[in-house]
Structure 1
Amino acid sequence: MVADGAGRTPEGTTDRGAGPRQTWAALPWLVRSAVVWSACLVMVVAGLYLLGKIAVLLAPLAIALAATVFLTALLDPVQLALRRLRLPASLAALLTVLLLLGVLFGVGALVWNLTAGQFSELSQELTQGLRRTREFVTSTLPVSDQQLDRLLDQARQGLGQGSVDPVSGARTAAEVLGSALLALVLLFFLLKDGRSMWRWTLSRATGPNRSVTAEAGRVGWRTLGAYSRGTMMIAAIDAIGIGLALVLLRVPLAFPLALITFFGGFIPIIGATVAGAVAVLVALAAKGPVTALLVLAAVIAVQQIEGNLLEPLIMKRQVRLHPAVILVAVTAGTLVAGIAGAFVAVPITAVVWRVIDTVQQHRQPRTPAPDPR
């Protein structure tokens, strides 16, 4: 039946869906595409916002789970090497966790012995460096002391949350300790039974979705493992390179600054920039502007060598992300969950991207092979 101009069929019945369908079809294709994509974007953003709110409400559990998955991907090769020695799964997982604890406590003791009396000096050097930077800014730029003080006060108000509450501090310490213990227990079970858990999950998938899920899971896990190990190697290289430059330039507190550089390397781009700025400020306070410029040159050189030469060799091509994507991911993670969000934002983005790419490749129709006749 064909509807007339009033939206009625020849028999006189009204086709109620004809009006909206005709109106939608009459819209330009660009408008229809914009409406559909905007609706999809709103749904995705709303889902991510809801997940972020849930993660913030369950922050200790979320941090423990993120640390567990990251450490499992990092230590999985160690556990597999122990399994090749015919060790039981439980013993291999236990030895891997004990090895991690030994390394952490050993490095912590070494760092404490070398830097326990230097962090207070580091704070004083940073304060002096900031004072010299303030004098340089006010003497060379059209900024008065009052304007700079006003900007600093606004920054402190934005970062600070009032006076320190002892009860809140004790609660935070208890949450951190509980999250660490939970992460260690979950790490043991994931190293021991992670593969059997994954096989059980795949057994619940049926049809063609099973092969796609299996391939996406393998790709995501390989991406996370490559990212965790590559990031640790790159952070260590940055710390060693910048630490050697500080030692050669006789900048004090070289080891604490190298340690800050190592931890900053786990936050791509932003972490390295902040760590380099701290080293330059200390050099400015201790040795003057010439040494500070040399430290700045060394920091830039190390980061350029790492970004253009070492990172392509260490990181697989599938793991690397565009710097713009990294900046957006780190910023979003910081806004949602602070420093913890900045740590996990980039690996989550890399894994999600690789999983989506794998699923899309499986859904693309494969062209049949040409007939050899």
Structure 2
Amino acid sequence: MVPVGLRLSAAFAWRLLVVAAALGVIIWLVGELALVTTTLAVALLLAALMAPVVDLLIRKARFPRGLAVSATIVGGLAILTGLVTFVVVQFTDGLPALREQLSRSFDQVGRWLTEGPLGLESADINDLIDQIVSYVERNQGTITTSALTTAGAVGEFLTGFLLTLFILIFFLLHGNDIWSFLVKAVPGNARRQADIAGRRGFASLVSYVRATAIVAVVDAVGIGIGLWILGVPLVVPLATLVFLGAFIPIIGAVVTGAIAVLVALVTVGWIKALIALAVVIAVMQLESHVLQPLLLGRAVKIHPLAVILAITAGLVIAGITGALVSVPLVAVLNAGAKSLIDNDEAQTADEVPVLARGGSAPDVVAEPSEDGSRETTREAE
């Protein structure tokens, strides 16, 4: 006779293997269709960012939906184009000064290597430089191949950009119809719960994207002001880099902050670089302990371990784009799972936001029924 414990272990084991196999197939499909999956994810993020704007234009300015969507997308592209142009112009204008400061810094490093504790000879330093030049010459073919690969990546980026824009337009125009069509694939007895869970998941995505954008702006402004006071060149490009990096939680802020500190080290000296490091750490502490808890709250709060694992998985599957979209997608799944677990029967599907409308989910509070046997919900005032 098979022991009960062994039977239970075997039952759990084969179910776990089935789940692992299903997850493996899904991850493999996502990797094989990386262009499609990443564009869908990015378009969903942009829809979460723009849906409240579209909703505002429809409700306040009485715009038709098509006009509201067009105005929002054109305005977003105009802001993005202006920002990129401004950053490029600032980088081009600041490049000569950066070159001069780098030359002075290298001279100081060279003097420290020869006159400092290491006591290296000038011939040794020149030999090192010659070796670097020889290495570049020997690997010129590899460098050229990398450049061609980069050109191919640019073409793939443009394709993904156009596909993302196309998907975004339909998400904003017909998001509610698309979601209603997808929900029909769910069995009838669970369709209503799945509908509510999906809408709450999108509401959490809207909150996440809005809060992350505010946090990114605060990070960029705070670190940018600190670098400007210290006299670090290329303040605007570095602040823009910090803004973009803030959309990848934890890792993005660390990497972009390290780049800013490194630029400060080679341009204005190690003392001001230490001050810049202190500024970066202070801004990150403000983000972690004040801004994110205040703006995100409990609705989209994710454990740091889940964030790291999600970012790592996103990097492995789809590179930087995967790291960018992994955490918000985890936030959506987290909110949807919580909704299914709570199984809030009193909350109707019309009370939660839809993709085409944007907005955030209403607050609900539990209150006992008259006989005390179950709980109902009402909208918090």
Same fold (TM over 0.5): yes
Contact 1:93 1:191 in 2 (8 A): yes
Q: 2:257 aligns with which of 263, 276, 282?
A: 276
- What residue in structure 1 maps to residue 69 of structure 2? 93
Map 1:1-373; keep pairs closer than 5 Å.
Answer: 22-25=1-4, 27=6, 32-33=8-9, 35-84=10-59, 85-118=61-94, 163-165=143-145, 168-203=149-184, 205=186, 207-362=188-343, 371=371
Separation in 1 of the partners of 2:66 and 2:279? 46
Separation in 1 of the partners of 2:323 and 2:62? 39
Give, as a single letter, the amino acid of the residue that structure 2 aligns with 1:77.
P
Describe the SS at the equivalent of 2:248: coil
Q: Check 1:326–1:119 CA distance in 2 against 1; reply closer, same or farther (3 A cut).
A: farther
Q: Check 1:118–1:320 CA distance in 2 against 1; reply closer, same or farther (3 A cut).
A: farther
Give, as a single letter, the amino acid of the residue that structure 1 aligns with 2:73.
V
Separation in 2 of the partners of 1:67 and 1:53? 19
Describe the SS at the equivalent of 1:252: coil
Separation in 2 of the partners of 1:369 and 1:214? 25
Give, as a single letter, the amino acid of the residue that structure 1 aligns with 2:21.
A
Whose Rg is larger? 1
Q: Check 1:336–1:42 CA distance in 2 against 1; reply closer, same or farther (3 A cut).
A: farther
Give, as a single letter, the amino acid of the residue that structure 2 aligns with 1:187.
L
Can you list the C-alpha shifts for 1:38-97, whole angstroms capped at 9, x where unaligned? Answer: 544444443333323322222222221111111001100111112223322222211221
Separation in 2 of the partners of 1:231 and 1:123? 34
Once the two structures are TM-superposed, the CA of residue 281 in structure 1 deviates from its matched residue by 1.4
Unpaired runs of 5+ in structure 2?
Answer: 119-140, 346-365, 374-381
Once the two structures are TM-superposed, the CA of residue 120 in structure 1 deviates from its matched residue by 8.2
Once the two structures are TM-superposed, the CA of residue 121 in structure 1 deviates from its matched residue by 7.0
Root mean square deviation, CA, Å: 3.3
Higher mean C-alpha deviation, range 217-226 or range 348-357: 348-357
Give, as a single letter, the amino acid of the residue that structure 2 aligns with 1:53.
W
Separation in 2 of the partners of 1:259 and 1:39? 50
Higher relative contact order (CA 8 A, sep 6+): 2
Contact 2:300 2:334 in 1 (8 A): no
Contact 1:239 1:258 in 2 (8 A): yes
Contact 2:94 2:233 in 1 (8 A): no
Separation in 2 of the partners of 1:204 and 1:43? 22
Higher mean C-alpha deviation, range 341-350 or range 51-60: 51-60
Separation in 1 of the partners of 2:91 and 2:254? 22
Separation in 1 of the partners of 2:73 and 2:315? 29
Once the two structures are TM-superposed, the CA of residue 370 in structure 1 deviates from its matched residue by 7.3
Separation in 2 of the partners of 1:43 and 1:116? 55
Q: Check 1:110–1:357 CA distance in 2 against 1; reply closer, same or farther (3 A cut).
A: same
Contact 2:216 2:244 in 1 (8 A): yes
Give, as a single letter, the amino acid of the residue that structure 2 aligns with 1:60.
L
Give, as a single letter, the amino acid of the residue that structure 1 aligns with 2:91.
T
Separation in 2 of the partners of 1:210 and 1:120? 62
**TM-score of the two chains, using structure 1 as the length reference:** 0.76
Unpaired runs of 5+ in structure 1?
Answer: 1-21, 141-160
Contact 1:226 1:316 in 2 (8 A): no
Contact 1:122 1:282 in 2 (8 A): no
**TM-score of the two chains, using structure 2 as the length reference:** 0.75
Q: Check 1:287–1:213 CA distance in 2 against 1; reply closer, same or farther (3 A cut).
A: same
Once the two structures are TM-superposed, the CA of residue 287 in structure 1 deviates from its matched residue by 2.2
Separation in 2 of the partners of 1:96 and 1:79? 6
Separation in 1 of the partners of 2:187 and 2:24? 31
